[in-house]
Amino acid sequence: MKKIFTLLVFTLLTSFVFSQKIYFCENYTDNGEPIGTNSTWNIKSNGGYVYLLFNNNANHLYSSKLYIYIDKQSSNDYVAYKTLSINTDENSTWAVYNYTFTEPGYYKVRFLNQDYQTLATEYCTIKMETATASIAATSSEIIDTYYYTYSSVKFCTSVDDNYEAVGANSTFNISPSLGGYVYVLVKNNNKAFKTNKMYVDIYKGGDYSEFVETKIFDITSDWASFKFPYTFYKEGHYMFKVYNSNSIFINAGYVTIGYNE
């Protein structure tokens, strides 16, 4: 009985620890949900910001201060690069810090509580922009992730003639035997996408770690919106990550698919 109890406690603790997560994102909602997540970011020569968002899986932080340890890869190991501390609300379930990266490289980021216990660890890659990859062919305007700051990815039942989502939602039900389709609407807040292709990487699972497929679409560079129907055959949690033709991250959308009863 003692062994069973010990195993149960260990399982619960392990489940709790691994459910905590760090997101690298370009923005976030009032409820602490990440917007525009990615693990690879392109920055300008003078640096670029990325929000470091820690989600405690709906559990209170129970800590008035969190520490952020940022390590940078050197040779085959990660070495201490930056240490930060942020004041937090003990009753909050998430925390965020707007960090400016100034150097390209591979980084390891850890969030720790006030007792210096590691809560979550995540990795990201920072790249320095090159002119050929970030400047549109017909314009001197730099096209990077920040150009798409106010973009959006929505899921809906249809799209009207003005490219507005109809029946937008984050949860849809499909037939367990036949599946069902949902429209994906990507908009750039009335700004041209400045790309002739869109790449959409689709992931599945509770932590969105299961790669499903990549969809590629030809578009016109002056488009500010585009849509496509996507057919789901299995229930689950899905993430759609959208990139332009130069692999510049645009935004991500999240949708949950269930079965009709």
Q: Model confidence at 14, in pLDDT bands (50, 70, 90)? A: very low
- Rounded to an integer, what distance in angstroms lies between the CA atom of residue 37 and that of residue 99? 14
Tokens 């820690």 found at: 54
More confident residue, 128 or 199: 199
pTM above the 0.85 mark? no
What pLDDT was estimated at residue 140?
Answer: 57
Give the pLDDT confidence of 62-78 residue by residue, as tens digits: 988 999 999 999 888 89
Q: Which domains are assigned to the chain?
A: 19-128 (2.60.40.2550), 148-259 (2.60.40.2550)
What pLDDT was estimated at residue 35?
Answer: 86
Give the pLDDT confidence of 166-187 residue by residue, as tens digits: 999 999 999 999 999 999 999 9
Give the pLDDT confidence of 93-118 residue by residue, as tens digits: 999 999 989 899 999 999 999 999 99
